[in-house]
Structure 1
Amino acid sequence: MQKIETTLPLRLWTVEEYHRIAEVGIFGADERVELLDGKIIWMSAKGTAHTSSVGRTNKLLQNRLGNRAWVAIQDPVKLNERSEPEPDIAVVKVDPLDYADHHPIPPEIYLIIEVADSSLKLDCETKGKAYSKAGISDYWVLDVVSRQVHIFREPSEDGYQSEKILAEDETISPLEFPDLRIQVLEMLPLVSRS
């Protein structure tokens, strides 16, 4: 019996081609997409819990890091020639031109944080593998539904070798800033006590 190939060959895009597609207006103004492993993927809609967590985490990191790092919110990072995701939060090296001439690349990235309300599997698996292959040493997925954070470290070609899940009452420090102690609860949306 002959085996039938079920996977179709895909035409993968480069970051340069992705930029040209955007420049000619192929994507609508309201379309939220990003390039991951040569594939253009739809970004999840942002719920209120997602927006709240991104805002709280941004403010917390800005206040505590000061001038030690640049905190980028939902801006592109260039992982390689086929991946340019737009993580919810990227803590990157300070650049004298404020990244006016390029998007941050892996050697300039201290920490990536994705906030998941409906995208936990995508963030932990698909994006996690892309960040790991690019050598991002500290990757966090803030799960606003379960009110916990997944901490991914020890990147490899096959994915992160270490994953820890911390509850909202636990504390974490970024690898590059061990003096910065963050309680998970500080990054989560406030809960109504009615």
Structure 2
Amino acid sequence: MNMPPSLTEPHRLKLRIEDFTLLDHAGVFDAYGKVELIDGVIEVMNAEFRRHNRIKNYLTRRLQRALEDIGSRYEAFSESSLALPSHDLPQPDVIVARGGSDDRYYEVRDLAIVVEVADSTVARDLGVKCALYLAHGVPEYWVVAVASGEVHQFWDPGVDGFAARRMVPLEGELTSATMPALAIDGRGLL
């Protein structure tokens, strides 16, 4: 009997979100801290230093206040799992999304903005993570580059990449490209 090469040759087994969830609920990852599922592979994230944690929390609070000030139905959340079917379950540092009380992961349909704070991961966040969010149609993506003190903003996802992008120094106002009424003060985040 001739079997297709994909069944007879060694190959990578990509976990699905539901596989990852079962493992997580069984406590498999308890000893590892923060883990993500990226392209079907379980990735253990570095422990968070105080600076990273501080920036992430300040950013979340500032975004939440600004959303309330403009009367938005969106909220800012920290460390939320984002289901990008069927093999990706990243945990961005901050998301701006519609909240809910149901028992499911956030999905792209819930999102306005995804934010990664990049202290030691700027290349990854501008590379692999940017491509991941682009591929799934995330409306707006920010990378807070700690070392350079600027925010890389990407929006308008398309087949050739994000159609629009800009870099903004964290020295003044930081405005969303897709929600122009949403603006925060970037000073003092770093």
Same fold? TM cut 0.5: yes
Q: Is 1:74 the equivalent of 2:50? A: no
Q: Which moved more, 1:35-44 or 1:11-20?
A: 35-44
Match of 2:6 in 1: none
In structure 2, C-alpha distance between the alignment counterparts of 1:104 and 1:26, rounded to whole Å: 22
- Match of 2:127, SS? helix
In structure 2, C-alpha distance between the alignment counterparts of 1:39 and 1:123, rounded to whole Å: 17
Q: Taking structure 2 as the reference length, what is the TM-score of the superposition?
A: 0.85
Gaps of 5+ in 2: 1-9
Give 1:48 shift: 1.9
Q: Which of the residues 17, 21, 27 maps onto 1:25? A: 27
Q: Taking structure 1 as the reference length, what is the TM-score of the superposition?
A: 0.83
Task: Say which structure is richer in strand.
Answer: 2
Structure 1 residues 112 and 184 mapped into 2: Cα distance closer, same or farther (>3 Å)?
same
Gaps of 5+ in 1: 1-7, 190-194
Instruction: Tell me how many residue pairs correspond in the alignment.
Output: 178
- Please give the root-mean-square deviation of Cα atoms over the aligned residues, in Å: 1.9
Match of 1:91 in 2: 96
In structure 2, C-alpha distance between the alignment counterparts of 1:63 and 1:121, rounded to whole Å: 30
Structure 1 residues 13 and 158 mapped into 2: Cα distance closer, same or farther (>3 Å)?
farther
Structure 1 residues 157 and 31 mapped into 2: Cα distance closer, same or farther (>3 Å)?
farther
Q: Which has the higher contact order (CA 8 A, sep 6+)?
A: 1
Match of 1:168 in 2: 170
Question: Percent identity of the aligned residues?
Answer: 26
The aligned runs of 1:169-188 (5 Å cut-off) are 169-186=171-188, 188=189
Contact preservation (8 Å) 1:172, 1:181: yes
Match of 1:122 in 2: 124
The residue type paired with residue 115 of structure 2 is I
In structure 2, C-alpha distance between the alignment counterparts of 1:18 and 1:147, rounded to whole Å: 35
Contact preservation (8 Å) 2:155, 2:178: no
Give 1:121 shift: 0.9
Give 1:87 shift: 0.5
Structure 1 residues 158 and 27 mapped into 2: Cα distance closer, same or farther (>3 Å)?
farther
